Amino acid sequence: MNGIRVSNLTKRYDDTLAVDDITFTVPVGAIVGLLGGNGAGKTTTIGMLLGLLIPTAGAIEVLGHDMARDRFPALARMNFSSPYVSLPQRLSVAENLRVYGHLYNVPNLEQRIAELAAELELRDLLHRPAGKLSAGQKTRVALAKALINRPELLLLDEPTASLDPDTGDWVRSWLERYREDTGCTILLASHNMAEVERLCSDVLMLKRGRIVDRGTPQGLLDRYGRKDMEEVFLDIARDRRHAVPA
Amino acid sequence: MNSGSSARTAARRIWGLLYRHLALYRRSWPRLLELAYWPVLQMCIWGFTASFLAARIGNAAAVAGATLLGGVLLWEVALRSQMGVAISFMEEMWSRNLGHLFVSPIRPWELITALLLVSVVRMLGGVLPALLVAWILYAYNLFSLGPVVVLFFMNLMMFGWAVALGVVSLILRHGAGAEALAWSVLFGLTPFSAVFYPVAVLPHVLQPIAEALPSAHVFEGMRGVVLQGIVRWDHLIAAFALNVIWIAGATLLFARQFRQARLRGALLSIGE
């Protein structure tokens, strides 16, 4: 069973082809990485999966719902986090979580907020304005917002961007544990190759809007004859070396 | 999900967004002060002007003063309603929160309903202190016009909302470049709304513009009550009918621009 099914998805802005006829599936419970350089089409793809963008062509099915005709039931069962989209800075952490708890119709909301505060070490921050938090604290709050509705599908756009290595590692460990505990499906867009290698069971390599390669991290390393995903990424980005046929 | 349950869920989403704005006011007294500042200032300026004229000229000026104060107070209803919607939408844009909102299950109509409710709160926060100042300083009670005042309020709120939806649509289309319209667009319609003078005072060529504005009919109606002591139902019906047309047009414009924004990918980048 698939959490996400994308068929022949295309997005064109005037003369620019941002996403070019991509097809992929994300099985339920998997963590799949969307990897590519700037302008590769990762954010556009995520935007279409979230219903923020209307595709030029193709079909998207999320948790069994056709996003073109029936996106709201799917949106209620998924969530999203990105360092490039903020929460209201002047509201406290608790107020922000309350707002999104209402938007996602979360039952026993105060109890859910208390649970998330305990899990994500936010208890001392609940009454602080969101704008007064450090980057690491903001990331934890953004994760709490993304988990408020116990999503079955989580879309994460560069979840550890601008975090120090210690906080980044904490977030990655937390995501691994969360996926194991809940069976949540995660699609992760990232520039961080170590993160993708560690978290993802499958990787989609995007370049100029097309999926140019895909596979497990180990499979890609073997095919390109490299030691880490960063080298694989550079091979693909710079057309340096092509995969060795198995 | 049955219809009762989905109505409750929709109401909860609307409350969520309303709560977001109320929480903002709860923790910021300058924001609360800002709501009342301009309407109270306007009331002071025009109230003292009316008092001065009444003292110099007598009864005719007192009647003119009542028309003036009624005009100031009622026009604030339209202004605050319009700004309430437009500025609340811009608050989401400024805090770069629109991306989160539009990927939540909130429907566009629920978002608009929440913004309208926020605007009612903002309007009351501005107009009630001005009403109080008019009553304390000038012994002017707008409600002495009778229950018809409620219909004037409703019409002006609806007109403010229609204009606000137009402004929000332009922000969706042009981004931050259209922000200034949130403050200025209704001021531009003041001369045609015949707030302080009858439509007949306008040059003939401009009168059709005034006739097309619900606000002009409201103020003609208000002058009917103040000057002749009669309720001009013809103007009130015209105001309601025009408001229906204005709101329908603004809603269509919003729906079109929202879809265009989703086509262009503007919902994530709007305001940047």
- Residues A94-137 have pLDDT tens digits of 999 999 999 999 999 999 999 999 999 899 999 999 999 998 89
Confidence tier at A243 by pLDDT (50, 70, 90): low
Confidence tier at B193 by pLDDT (50, 70, 90): very high
Domains of chain A, start order: 1-77+152-214 (3.40.50.300), 87-150 (no CATH)
Residues of B in contact with A102 (CB under 8 A): 12-13, 15-17, 19
Q: Calculate ∠ Cα B126-B129-B132, nearest 5°.
A: 145
Res B271: pLDDT = 54
Q: How buried is B151 (Cβ within 10 angstroms: 0-12 exposed, 13-18 middle, 19+ buried)?
A: middle
Of the ranges A21-25, B89-93, B228-232, which is most confident?
A: A21-25
Q: Which conformational region is residue B82 in: left (phi greater than 0), alpha (psi within -120 to 50 degrees), or beta?
A: alpha
> Higher-confidence residue: B44 or A118?
A118
Longest dimension (CA), chain B: 68
Residue of B230, B232, B188, B233 lying closest to B213 (CA atoms): B188
Looking at the DSSP bridge assignments, the partners of residue A31 are: A186
Res A192: pLDDT = 83
pLDDT at B112 over 70: yes
Q: What number of H helices and E strands is found in chain A?
A: 9, 10
Mean pLDDT along residues B114-134: 93
Residues of B in contact with A12 (CB under 8 A): none
User: In this complex, is the C-beta atom of A132 within 8 Å of any C-beta atom belonging to chain B?
Assistant: no
Considering only alpha carbons, which residue of chain B is nearest residue A142? B100
Average per-residue pLDDT for chain A: 91
pLDDT tens digit string along A50-61? 999 999 999 999
Residues of A in contact with B264 (CB under 8 A): 13
pLDDT at B60 over 80: no
Mean pLDDT along residues B54-65: 76
Query: How many structural domains are present in chain B?
Result: 1
pLDDT tens digit string along B143-189? 888 888 889 999 999 999 999 999 999 999 988 888 888 888 998 99
Mean pLDDT along residues B202-219: 96
Res B268: pLDDT = 72
Confidence tier at A3 by pLDDT (50, 70, 90): very high
pLDDT at B265 over 90: no
Torsion of CA B204, B208, B210, B211, to 10 degrees: 120
Domain hosting B225: range is 3-269
Confidence tier at A244 by pLDDT (50, 70, 90): low
Res A68: pLDDT = 93
User: In this complex, is the C-beta atom of A32 within 8 Å of any C-beta atom belonging to chain B?
Assistant: no
CB–CB of B99 and A100 under 8 A? no
